[in-house]
Amino acid sequence: MKYIKFLLILLFAVCIQNSFSSKLEEKFRWKEVSYAWPSDSAMDEAIKSGRYQPENNLPLGLEVWKDKLFITVPRWKSGVASSLNYINIDSKDSSPLLIPYPSWTANSLESDGFTTETTGGRMSAPKPTILDGQLTDNSSIISTFRIRVDECDRLWVMDTGLADILGSNPKQIAQPALVIFDLNTNKLIKRYTIPPEHIKDDTFFANVIVDVPKNGCDNAYAYIPDLGAYATVVYSFKSDRSWRVRHNFFYFDPINGDYNVGGVNFQWKDGIFALALGEQTDQGTRTVYFHALSSTKEFSVPNYILQNETRALSAESYFDYSLVGDRGLNGQSTSEFFDEKTKVLVYTQVNKDGIGCWNSQKPYTPDNQGILDSDSDALVFPNDLKIDRNGNVWVLSDRLPIFIYKKLNPNEYNYRILTGKVGNLILGTPCE
């Protein structure tokens, strides 16, 4: 009798646990992305001219601000209509049209003959973004991968300036630059061109992290990882200057450069790519977590080390960096974000079609790594991940390896955005 009672209690506990556990909810999905064109004829003309080739528009990065969900579309190939876009987060359409930000003009590589603005009820032709190899508007966005919204309602965009990346002749249309917008006015605040001395032969800037001290918008710093040349560029908003930091921990791990995603086997040697900001103290100090994409190890460095140019560039700074731990076999990750409320670090797991987590109050070991969700269809190559101010995690998956090495099926849903509450997702995992 006691044994039966024990089993009933155990069964009840399992049912209670399962009732509280949750998975990511699919919010949006696309077979191919399209845009909010000014008119049907404008889209038809863009397709006819080759300026818009639907199959070449792959969404990669995302960010959330109020009712806007920003989505980036890098110019991997020709025919990308707009690189920086947004949709309404409350859209009832499961496959909404992307709206270029801050405008069509800013995302155009040449005069497309249309604009969202009107004059006297007629469409007015925009000025081209590119004229004789020069930017005609500092708010122009050529090609961006990752973006970040800070606590001061500013959108920071790392523009690579590179188009047709996978083509036989990639075009460096503009120099890599950090482009900052005021989201309340949609106006450009600043465009900071990365100095030539920070750019090496294999340089590739695909991410940006923004560190803002409490009540100190003007004292913000941006950390820009160089995944190809294994360094991090630190930018000071206040002084409008930057410095390039190097460390052995920024390199890829040759043991962990092999991937199997969506039926595609490939090898990458991408270095430092993902960064996350830990909990901030009253003095503004915090831990900066980071890892290379082709690695399973997590590292950290205090933010005040990176922000002190003299210290960051000195040989003594080598010992300011720490090994946090190892995620274990097939633990490669493209993106991570620290949730201050739960003190949990959430990250993508590209080889596992999933999203992982680690409670920062526990040792960083494989046993303490949790899986929040895994899906061999909806989470094939989770590429970017953010946590908004309400504790919601947002994930964008895009089947990137199939896009690069094979061909996506236009009759299948290839791109998805999923969401869920961090507090609910960690229930029943080692991160609880």
Calculated CA dihedral for residues 315, 321, 323, 327, nearest 10 degrees = -120
Calculated CA dihedral for residues 4, 9, 15, 21, nearest 10 degrees = -140
Residue 207: the pLDDT is 98
Distance CA 96, CA 282 (A): 41
Per DSSP bridges, beta strands 171-172 and 209-211 are unpaired
* Structural domains in the chain, sorted by start: 24-193 (2.120.10.30), 248-432 (2.120.10.30)
pTM for this predicted structure: 0.91
Cβ atoms of 198 and 175 within 8 Å: the answer is no
Residue 137: the pLDDT is 84
Residues in contact with 300: Cβ distance below 8 Å, sequence separation at least 6, in sequence order: 278, 287, 288, 289, 290, 321, 322, 324
Residues in contact with 263: Cβ distance below 8 Å, sequence separation at least 6, in sequence order: 402
Spans of the chain, pLDDT less than 50: 6-20, 111-126
Residue 211: the pLDDT is 98
Distance CA 98, CA 88 (A): 9
Residue 226: the pLDDT is 98
Residue 119: the pLDDT is 29
For residue 407, the tally of other CB atoms under 10 A from its CB is 9
Residue 283: the pLDDT is 86
Residue 168: the pLDDT is 83
Distance CA 416, CA 431 (A): 25
Residue 132: the pLDDT is 52
Residues in contact with 297: Cβ distance below 8 Å, sequence separation at least 6, in sequence order: 253, 291, 323, 324, 325, 326, 327
